[in-house]
Amino acid sequence: MEQFFTQLTNGLAVGGIYALIALGYTMVYGVLKLINFAHGDLFTIGAYLGLTLLASLGLTGNVGTAGGIFFLVLMVMGLVGVIGILLDRAAYKPLRTSPRLSAVVSALGASIVFSNTIMLVYGPSPRVYPQGLLPTHVFYVFGLPVPIMRIIILATSLVLMIGLYLFIQKTRTGTAIRAAAIDQGAARLMGINVDRVIMLVFFIGPALGGAAGVMVGLHYGQINFTMGWIYGLKAFTAAILGGIGNIPGAMVGGLLLGVIESMGAAYISNAWKDAIAFFVLILILIIRPTGLLGERVAEKI
Amino acid sequence: MSLLRVENVVKFFGGLMAVGNVSFDVPEGCVYGLIGPNGAGKTTVFNLITGNYKLNKGNIVFKGENITGMLTPRVVALGIARTFQNIRLFSNMSVLENVLAGYHCRMKSGALAAMLRLPKQRAEERRAIGKAIAELRFVGLEAEAENLARNLSYGNQRLLEIARALASDPALIILDEPAGGMNEYETTALVDLIERIRARGITVMLIEHDMSLVMRACEYIVVLEHGKKIAEGSPEVIKADPKVIEAYLGSDDDEI
Amino acid sequence: MSVSGNNIRIGLYAAVAVCWVAAPFFLDNYQTDVLNNIAIYALLGLSLNIILGYGGMFHMGHAAFFAIGAYTTAIMNTSWGIPVLWLLPLSGITAGVFALVVARPIIHLRGDYLLIVTIGMVEIVRIALVNNIFGITGGPNGIFGIASPQVFGYPINGIVHPAHYFYLLTVFIAFTIAVFYLLEHSRYGRALKYLCSDSVAAEGSGIDTSGYKLSAFVIGAFWAGMVGNLYAGKITFISPESFSFWESVVMFMIVILGGAGSIPGVLLGAILIIGLPEFFQELQQYRLLIFGIALVAMMIFRPQGVLPPKPHTYPVDKIDEKEVAL
């Protein structure tokens, strides 16, 4: 029972991170029908930028730990968001009218560029986040231990996700994003600035990915330049699991995948942990490619 | 004897009924028209016959064989060929190669025969090229054989689609708006081509918006509206049918 | 293209072939070994080209088939001492059967989904190798002591005499080019190009697209499995690292940058991606960065690759009038 509970909270915390990254995939896919392969690397950039800012600005010393980390996350989100916009300008915008798969190859190229740039700047060996910034406190719920860090991560992810959901559902800009996702041409005719929508999507998605990067750094302590692709693939799996293009789907998919993976590692085999997500990915694409919350669409002939 | 029998066919897209309980018989050797206002479900009926869509209810019988739910390539091999409403050619391949695609299902050589360059395979290739040239000549595109398909004019692309369909030696050819984008002169030539296709013993079924073409080319017409059959008969009967007139005047897309 | 243009092209290919065959006489062992690597990747690129180039299926897990061929050879050779070259067909068959099983359920997936699923597949295979699946793959350390191949009793040692191995690989490349050329210009090759161009139109023309997609996977995998055999015989030691996702990316880049669907393009791609970095040793660490930029730039400025396929001309004028029949 205790092991089950431990794995559950662990899975939910990791799942929150997957969900945050998955939102970036799903938003870009929703509007452009493009898998942004470089998204995982934007997450890595977030982790590394967080490390640099933490070390150079001494944020936590000036405004206290909680406030410092809050500002840190905000700054990283802003910076990674801007990188996201630049990525779109350089690698995707020239290919808007090309076959979709050209953009996919370009995305792959951009991913290689990002991960190797990180390696050249920060070196190939893993880097370590400063320890002891966050409380290591353990709560007991009905006598079962819950490290506070997991609660913080899950809570932060949930706050960001709910914020995004409300933004998309309740604001004019959010409505414009949804409209552009359904039909770009029609949205344009209705006076929606689709280019601005795309820019916004390429800001928000990477910003959330960057936040996830900082959270991984703070939680696990160690980061490396290749982690983006494995987190990216898993987050993409989460997006597919929930139904790509669907924002609540990404959240559900992320949390679910986190739990499946941590349960699988505990009860099936730890050595096969990374393979579990890929099995989930393959199964869902074979059985229900539209995901849990997605709708079926007939192909027009 | 009827070549193709469509029995009580129903097709839903989500909650929307695109085709509702439509039945008709296509006799062998005729030119058969399927008309109706935009969105009446004509192309959907074609897609159901050729197996591009799965139908929800009903039966489709071709040459006495039930082809309901059969995969498209099998349907083509049995002898139903089609063209597409929004031209779908292999645009970066030559005109000749496009026609060879149609003859594909009448050829046998596989990967191994090609790798070993067996005499049988080479003879078959030669025969295929001869057949493709003959079909191009039939539709009047022989001179374009080595051009890329995408470089053809719109009207010629429609003809190439017909040549590709004919190359599969069909018993029934289904033409989806063959005159779309053609000028008056090309349309007249098309009526002649349809007649020549029929003279080869191939039954022709067509969807068309150009009423003058339909009335000139077809012997028998079925009219669909909102996925339901509202009339059928000879062109004279259809022209006089009040329901047909209402259906067309009620919508502002087409004139009769 | 005019006849003289064609002649120039054929002359150029012949000159490149002569230079290739003569190269080991002018190169040291290390340099010849680089050529051997180019040859291995050229073969892998050609086999991937069947799937990705002709068939247009975005398959990024080709290293899995390569790995299965190499491990088949390694296991059979080290456990039962079966000579490496005898295992050539068997390595192809195991990879082909594996492809048949895994590709069947995923073959209908749309381009980008197929891409991601094949990445998943190659990762699962790598994890399986690391975890010493069935207790026969040697885990993360791999398998040592694979014998060198023998031709008519003469051992061909890829480590001591790279030049010997070079000629073994060259013969296999020549064979591969000839066979794949015939395949490309046949009913089979055309069917793949049709479904790549427009799969709905291909189905409507009577082409069983899923059958062809599957068989392209099987043929590509069969060949990659045989290349795995030659690779295992060359370095005599294999481990999961040699078959990572990045190997798949490299093969993918060779085809896409060189020219998808073009045999000369793929060969050039292998030379550029494997060979070129050797000339810029001091830039070694920037290698992947430059490839990444090249991928983006190529998609924007020349998406069809450096040497795209030329349209095939059919002997239309050699067909007799009496052969033109409906």
Does C112 contact A at CB distance below 8 Å? Answer: yes
C5 falls within a domain: no
Q: Which of C198, C203, C205 sits opposite B102 (nearest CB)?
A: C205
Confidence class of residue C261 from pLDDT cuts 50, 70 and 90? Answer: very high
Confidence of residue C184 (pLDDT cuts 50, 70, 90): very high
Is C180 within a domain?
yes
- Structural domain of residue C154, as residue ranges? 34-244
Tens-digit pLDDT profile for residues B163-192:
999 999 999 999 999 998 888 899 999 999
Average pLDDT, chain B: 91
Answer whether residue C304 is part of any domain: no
Name the more confident of A131 and B163. B163
Across the interface, which of A94, A120, A272 has its CB nearest the CB of C131? A272
Q: Examine the pLDDT at B198 and tell me if it is beyond 50.
A: yes
Q: Do A301 and B84 touch (CB under 8 A)?
A: yes
CB contact under 8 A, B101 and C312: no
Using DSSP's 3-state secondary structure scheme, residue B11 falls into: strand
Average pLDDT, chain C: 92
CATH 3.40.50.300 positions along chain B are 1-79+170-256
Q: What is the model's pLDDT at position A62?
A: 65
Determine, yes or no, domain membership for C106.
yes
Q: Chains touching chain C at 3 or more Cβ pairs under 8 angstroms?
A: A, B
Q: Angle at which helices A194-220 and A65-87 pack, to 10 degrees?
A: 140
Banded pLDDT at B249 (limits 50, 70, 90): low
For residue range A107-119, what is the model confidence (pLDDT) as tens digits? 999 999 999 999 9
Angle at C308 (CA atoms; ends C302, C310), nearest 5 degrees: 140
Give CA torsion, residues B163, B168, B171, B173, to 10 deg. -40
C-alpha of B189 from chain center: 17
pLDDT of B19 over the 70 cut = yes
In a domain, C44, yes or no: yes
Q: What is the CATH number of domain B1-79+170-256?
A: 3.40.50.300
Q: How far apart are CA A205 and CA A24, in angstroms?
A: 4
pLDDT digit string, tens, across residues C73-114: 999 999 998 999 999 999 999 999 999 999 999 988 888 889
Q: What pLDDT sits at residue C112?
A: 83
Average pLDDT over every residue of C139-167: 89
Taking residues C302-317, what's their average pLDDT?
88
Interatomic CA distance for residues C291 and A112, integer angstroms: 8
Residue of A nearest to C106 (CA): A286
Measured CB to CB, residues of chain A less than 8 Å from chain C are 34-35, 90-91, 94-95, 98-106, 108-117, 120, 229, 233, 236, 240, 269, 271-272, 274-275, 278-279, 281-282, 285-286, 289, 301
- Could you read off the pLDDT of C51-63 as tens digits, one per residue? 999 999 999 999 9
For B213-222, the pLDDT digits (tens) are: 898 999 999 9
What is the per-residue DSSP string for C100-156? Answer: HHHHHHHTTS-HHHHHHHHHHHHHHHHHHHHTTGGGTS-GGG-B--PPPPEETTEE-
With a cut of 50, say whether residue A248 has pLDDT above it: yes
Per DSSP, A146 falls in state E
Number of domains in chain C: 1
Share of chain B above pLDDT 70, in %: 96
The whole-model pTM stands at 0.91
pLDDT computed for residue A300 by the predictor: 57
Whether residues B52 and A298 touch (CB distance < 8 A) is answered with no
Question: How many Cβ atoms are within 10 Å of B1's Cβ, its own excluded?
Answer: 8
What residue ranges define each of the domains in chain A, with the CATH number in brackets?
Answer: 2-287 (1.10.3470)
- Average pLDDT of the segment spanning A156-175: 90
Beta-carbon count within 10 A of C242 CB: 19
Question: Residue C319 has what DSSP assignment?
Answer: S
ipTM associated with this complex: 0.90
Instruction: Name the pLDDT band for B256 (thresholds 50, 70, 90).
Output: very low
- In three-state secondary structure terms, B5 is strand
Residues of B in contact with C304 (CB under 8 A): none
pLDDT in tens, A181-190: 888 889 999 9
User: Can you list the alpha helix ranges (DSSP code H) found in chain C?
Assistant: 3-22, 29-48, 62-80, 87-106, 111-130, 162-184, 187-197, 199-204, 209-235, 245-258, 263-270, 276-279, 287-301
Least confident interval from A137-151, A208-222, C101-115: A137-151
Nearest-by-Cβ selection for C206 from B52, B73, B88 = B73
Of A105, B93, B173, nearest in space to C195 by CA: B93
**Closest-CA distance of chain B to residue A233, Å:** 32
Q: Does C2 touch chain B (CB under 8 A)?
A: no
State the virtual CA torsion across A278, A279, A281, A285 in degrees, nearest 10: 140
Which amino acid is located at A301 in the chain? I
Average pLDDT, chain A: 88
B129:C326 CB<8 A? no
Residues 25-84 of C with CB under 8 A from A: 58
**Percentage of chain A lying above the pLDDT 90 cut:** 47
Instruction: Categorize the per-residue pLDDT at B255 as very low, low, confident or very high, splitting at 50, 70 and 90.
Output: very low
Distance CA A113, CA A117 (A): 6
